[in-house]
């Protein structure tokens, strides 16, 4: 489990194929900040841009670790198939503060940036969210974007447009600290991002779906 509070900025420095076909995944080598790997061991979980991965090789002396990512995970995420800066978060410990919200590290879908600009001292980030995730979004609700726990400030449903699968556009406010200390500051219009919906919303949907109506409950 994670909290959506980024603990370091890493960089994918090398990508190696694990096989010769598209059914094979990749091995990523990630460079971490100085001292970041001191308490990391083989088999530990680290979220890369919001996707939970397992450390399979460790080279603390060179500030690097490796993970193996399957073809399925590559198909369901973005930003993990090329070199560049990524958000890192180590797995939550039982005695850690829950600074963001409960995050599983499982990417639910991919969104795209429609607008990213400075407003006063902060930044407004607008995202197009897939139709299948729109129902989980709410004003002042939580959403994980590339591993960062963020609060939704506005939701505009686009289902009534000509494109019935348009989904929603959401607006998020980013404070300067978030822009400066995560990889979100490098986003531009058209960038793709990994999205994870609020875990609680997922369970609420399941419970409501399985709750019988009054008519069904009558003997």
Give the pLDDT confidence of 109-130 residue by residue, as tens digits: 999 999 999 999 999 999 999 9
Separation of alpha carbons 213 and 216, rounded Å: 5
Beta-bridge mates of residue 88? 8, 48
CA angle 152, 115, 50 (to 5 degrees): 55
- pLDDT at res. 214: 55
- pLDDT at res. 13: 98
Separation of alpha carbons 64 and 42, rounded Å: 12
Q: Is the pLDDT of residue 44 over 70?
A: yes
Q: Is the pLDDT of residue 19 over 80?
A: yes
Domains and CATH numbers, the chain: 8-90 (2.40.30.20), 109-206 (2.40.30.20)
Mean pLDDT of 166-188: 95
- pLDDT at res. 211: 62
Q: Is the pLDDT of residue 162 over 60?
A: no
- pLDDT at res. 207: 87
* Whole-structure pTM value: 0.90
Beta-bridge mates of residue 173? 124
- pLDDT at res. 22: 86
Confidence of residue 141 (pLDDT cuts 50, 70, 90): very high
- pLDDT at res. 60: 93
pLDDT tens figures, 199-216: 888 888 888 887 665 555
Structure-token match 């194929």, residue found = 17
- pLDDT at res. 213: 57
């Amino acid at each position: 489990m994670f909290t959506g509070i980024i603990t370091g900025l890493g960089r994918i420095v090398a990508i190696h194929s694990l096989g010769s076909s598209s059914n094979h995944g990749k091995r990523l080598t990630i460079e971490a900040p100085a001292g970041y790997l001191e308490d990391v061991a083989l088999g530990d979980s680290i979220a890369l841009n919001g996707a939970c991965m397992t450390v399979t090789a460790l080279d603390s002396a060179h500030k690097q670790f490796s993970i193996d990512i399957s073809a399925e995970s590559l198909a369901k995420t973005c930003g993990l198939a090329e070199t560049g800066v990524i958000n890192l978060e180590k797995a939550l410990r039982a005695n850690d503060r829950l600074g963001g919200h409960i995050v599983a590290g499982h990417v639910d879908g991919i969104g795209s940036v429609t607008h990213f600009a400075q407003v006063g001292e902060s930044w407004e980030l607008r995202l197009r969210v897939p139709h299948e995730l729109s129902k989980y979004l709410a004003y002042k609700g939580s959403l994980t974007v590339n591993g960062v726990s963020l609060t939704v400030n506005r939701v505009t449903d686009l289902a009534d447009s000509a494109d019935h699968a348009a989904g929603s556009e959401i607006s998020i406010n980013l404070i300067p600290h978030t822009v400066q200390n995560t990889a979100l500051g490098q986003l531009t219009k058209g960038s793709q991002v990994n999205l994870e919906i609020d875990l609680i919303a997922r369970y609420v949907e399941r419970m409501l779906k399985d709750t019988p109506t009054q008519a069904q409950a009558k003997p």
